[in-house]
């Protein structure tokens, strides 16, 4: 089973007005590059112009980008507010 199928099992309730992760306006691009490979949900996407786009919807709250990027690439990393975020389903 590939990861997209697996991810399809989970349900996301996206807090549209309140991103729980915010990328800095001038992020360290080497770190951003790393995040395109490290995020298990593939939410950091390399663009044709070399920039990296991030969409917090679909975040698995694994904390990988927090460890790798908070301070250098990210200005905020928090768990989503109660009832928002990923709800893991099994089976
Ligand atoms: Fe991706 Fe994990 Fe960061 Fe969420 S916490 S954006 S799933 S690396």
Overall domain count for the chain: 1
DSSP state of 85: E
Residue with tokens 């690439």: 73
Find out whether the beta carbon of 40 lies less than 6 Å from any atom of ligand 1: yes
Range of 54's domain?
3-87
Q: Whose CA is nearest to atom 6 of ligand 1?
A: 59
Share the mean pLDDT of the chain. Answer: 91
- What is the per-residue pLDDT across 57-66, written as a single tens digit (0 to 9) for each? 999 999 999 9
Ligand 1 near 59 CB (within 6 A): yes
What residue's CA is closest to ligand 1, atom 4? 59
CATH of residue 23: 3.30.70.20
Ligand 1 atom with the shortest distance to the CA of 62: 2
pLDDT in tens, 69-85: 999 999 999 999 988 99
- Say if CB 19 and CB 75 are below 8 A apart: no
Averaged pLDDT, 23-35:
96
Note whether 85 and 77 are within 8 A (CB): no
């Amino acid at each position: 089973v590939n990861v997209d199928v697996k991810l399809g099992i989970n349900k996301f309730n996206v807090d549209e007005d309140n991103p729980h992760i915010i990328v800095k306006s001038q992020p360290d691009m080497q770190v951003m590059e790393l995040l395109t490979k490290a995020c298990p949900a593939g939410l950091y996407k390399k663009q044709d112009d070399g920039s990296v786009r991030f969409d917090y919807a679909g975040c698995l709250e694994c904390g990988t980008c927090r460890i790798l990027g908070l301070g250098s690439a990210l200005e905020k990393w928090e768990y989503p507010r109660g009832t928002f975020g990923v709800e893991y389903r099994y089976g």
